[in-house]
Amino acid sequence: MTTSEGSASTLVRAAATTQWVNLSTDVRTMTLDLFADALAVVAGGAVHPTMEALAATVSAPDGPSTLIGEKRGAAMRDAILLNAATTTVLQRQDGYAHAKGHPASQLVPVVLALTEQHRKGAEDMLSALVAGYEVAARVGVALGGVPPHLHDNGNWATIGHAAAAAHLLSNGNTDVIAAAIDGAASLALSFDRFTTAGGATMHHLYPAMATTQAVAIAEGAVAGLTPLPGSIERFYGPNMGTDFNATLLVDGIENDAWSRFEILNGYFKLHPSCAHLHGVNDAVDALLDEHAVKEDDIASVDVATFGEAMEIDTDTPANDLAARFSAKATVAAAIRHGRLDDGGLLDLEALQPLMNKITARHDPALDKHTPAGRPGIVTMKLASGDTVSKEVIFPRGTAQTLATPEERKDKALTLLARHYGEDGGTAVYDAVMALGSGGDIAALTATLRT
C-alpha cells in the first residue's frame, strides 16, 4: 500500500497509535459526553416529521446496525445515513472551537454502525472515535477557514470520519489509515452554505452523504485501493481552505502521538438554533430570568449581533429549520414559551405577531469578538416604559464558557426522553457511560432498540 507524505504522514501515525486505554480521564470524559450528546441529538430529532418520513423509506429487514429513529436494526449504510441525517434536524449537534464544523455528531453514527456490523469492542470503537476527531480537527484548523459559500457539514470532518472508519476496520493499521485520509482528501465534498436559512431540508443529507462516503473510502482502503499520497497538502488544503497551512496538521503531535487533544475543545449546543445566534439566545434567557419578562410586557425588541450571523439570518422563515437560523424567530419563541425549545419553533404563525415587534441588525462593533465569540445584545422596551438590555459575548456551552457536567447530562437526558421516555433515556445514557470502563456494545444496542 502507498503511505501518506509530508505533514499528513505524522498525522497518520498519531491516529494509528490512538488507544482508549492510554487516554487521560479528561479526554475519556469528553469523549463519552460527546458520544451521549450525539445519540441524544439523533433521538430528539428522530420524532420530527421529516425524519420519520425519511426513515420510512428504509424497508429492509432488521439488520446489524441500529437505526435510532426506528428503535430497530438496519443495514449498516442505511443506519449511518439516517442517523447522520438526523443530527442536523434540531441544530443541536456538537461544535468545535477552532474550526466551524460538527465532528463528533457525525463520527458517532459511523463508528457505532461499523462496530455493530463487525462486532468490535467498545474500546476499539472509542479509540477510533478519538483518532478520527483529532485528525478532523487538525485538518479543519489547517484550512484556515473554508470559502464563505461552503457549508461546514460534510466538509473537513469527512477526512476524520474516513480515518476513524479505517482505524476501526483495520485495527489501527497505518497504511490503511493513510489511504483513507488521502482518499477522503482527494474525494472532497462541497455543499451550499445557504440551504439552512432558506429552510431547504435537503440540507439534512449533507452529513448523511459525508458519513456514507467516508465509510466507502475506508472500505476501499482496507481492500487495497490507493490514493495519490499527499492529497491533503497538494489538493484538499489549497482548494478547500482560505488560508491553508500544512504545518498545523501536526500541531500538538510529538513522537508520533497526540501531545494535545483537540477533542477537549469540542462544545455542546445548549440552544436549538444556529450557533451564531447563541449569544443572542443566552441574552434573552438572562433577561427573562432576571426581569420576569412575559410576552404581554414587550413593546419592542432590538437584537444586535455580528456580521456573519446576519449573513445567514432570515426575517421570514418558511419552516422550523429556517427558524433556527432566524434571530427574530428564536427570540420570539423564547419570550412566548419562557425559554427557547424545539417545539416553540414549529408554529411560526403563532409567533408572527411577536416577531413583528423584533428588529434584528448587524452591529459592526461586535465583529471584533469573532470568531472566538458569538456576540449578541438584546434590548427590550417594555410596555411599562422601562428598558432592559443584556450583552453576551461567549455563549454557554462553548470552549470559553464550558457547559457544566450537569448541563451536558441534562441536555442528553432531555433529548433522549423524547424518543425513549425518561426511563429509557436514562438507560441509554447509563449504557454509554459504561462503555468507558468495560461496558458492552450489546448492552447499548439493547437500550437503543427498546
pLDDT band at 70 (very low <50, low <70, confident <90, very high): confident
Q: Is there a single domain that holds both residue 221 and residue 335?
A: no
% pLDDT > 70, the chain: 98
Q: Is there a single domain that holds both residue 374 and residue 251?
A: no
Q: In this structure, is residue 2 part of a structural domain?
A: no
Q: Is there a single domain that holds both residue 414 and residue 383?
A: no
Q: What is the mean pLDDT of the chain?
A: 95
Q: In this structure, is residue 175 part of a structural domain?
A: yes
Q: Is there a single domain that holds both residue 279 and residue 345?
A: yes
Q: In this structure, is residue 293 part of a structural domain?
A: yes
In this predicted structure, what is the pLDDT of residue 5?
A: 65
For residue 259, give the CATH number of its domain. Answer: 1.10.4100.10
Q: In this structure, is residue 398 part of a structural domain?
A: no
- Give the model confidence (pLDDT) of 98-133 as tens digits: 999 999 999 999 999 999 999 999 999 999 999 999
More confident of the two residues 154 and 209: 209
Q: In this structure, is residue 229 part of a structural domain?
A: yes
Domain span at residue 360? 275-392
Please give the torsion angle defined by the CA atoms of residues 267, 39, 312 and 397, in that order, rounded to the nearest 10 degrees.
-20
**Domain boundary, last residue among 344, 363, 392:** 392
Vertex 118: Cα angle to 186 and 430 (nearest 5): 105
Q: What is the mean pLDDT of residues 304-329?
A: 96
Query: CA-CA distance, 156 to 261, in Å (whole number)?
Result: 17
Q: Is there a single domain that holds both residue 48 and residue 83?
A: yes
SS (H, E, C) 5-33: CCHHHHHHHHHHCCCHHHCCHHHHHHHHH
Q: Is there a single domain that holds both residue 311 and residue 282?
A: yes
Is residue 387 pLDDT above 70, yes or no? yes
Q: Is there a single domain that holds both residue 281 and residue 314?
A: yes
Three cell numbers at 417?
426522553
For residue 335, give the CATH number of its domain. Answer: 3.30.1330.120
- Give the model confidence (pLDDT) of 126-184 as tens digits: 999 999 999 999 999 999 999 999 998 889 999 999 999 999 999 999 999 999 999 99
Q: Is there a single domain that holds both residue 70 and residue 199?
A: yes
Cα–Cα distances (Å) from 52 to 83, 125, 252, in that order, read 11, 28, 42
Cβ(65)–Cβ(108) below 8 Å: no
pLDDT band at 443 (very low <50, low <70, confident <90, very high): very high
**Domain boundary, last residue among 370, 392, 414:** 392
Contacts of 53 (CB under 8 A, 6+ apart): none
Q: Is there a single domain that holds both residue 419 and residue 344?
A: no
Count structural domains, the chain: 2
Three cell numbers at 141?
484548523
Q: What is the mean pLDDT of residues 27-49?
A: 97
- Give the model confidence (pLDDT) of 277-315 as tens digits: 999 999 999 999 999 999 999 999 999 999 999 999 999
In this predicted structure, what is the pLDDT of residue 384?
A: 96
Q: Is there a single domain that holds both residue 224 and residue 360?
A: no
Q: In this structure, is residue 418 part of a structural domain?
A: yes
pLDDT band at 93 (very low <50, low <70, confident <90, very high): very high
Does the pTM exceed 0.85? yes
Closest of 86, 104, 105, 88 to residue 46, by C-alpha: 86
DSSP 188: -
Closest of 181, 330, 352, 335 to residue 270, by C-alpha: 330
Q: In this structure, is residue 397 part of a structural domain?
A: no
Q: Is there a single domain that holds both residue 221 and residue 91?
A: yes
- Spell 143-177 as b/e; 16+ CB within 10 A means b: beebeeebbbbbbbbbbbbbbbbbbbbbebbbbbb
Q: Is there a single domain that holds both residue 313 and residue 175?
A: no
pLDDT band at 6 (very low <50, low <70, confident <90, very high): confident
- Give the model confidence (pLDDT) of 52-61 as tens digits: 999 988 876 7
The residues that bridge with 113 in the sheet, in sequence order, are: none
**Domain boundary, last residue among 349, 368, 392:** 392
In this predicted structure, what is the pLDDT of residue 1?
A: 44
Q: In this structure, is residue 184 part of a structural domain?
A: yes
DSSP 368: G
Q: What is the mean pLDDT of residues 336-355?
A: 93
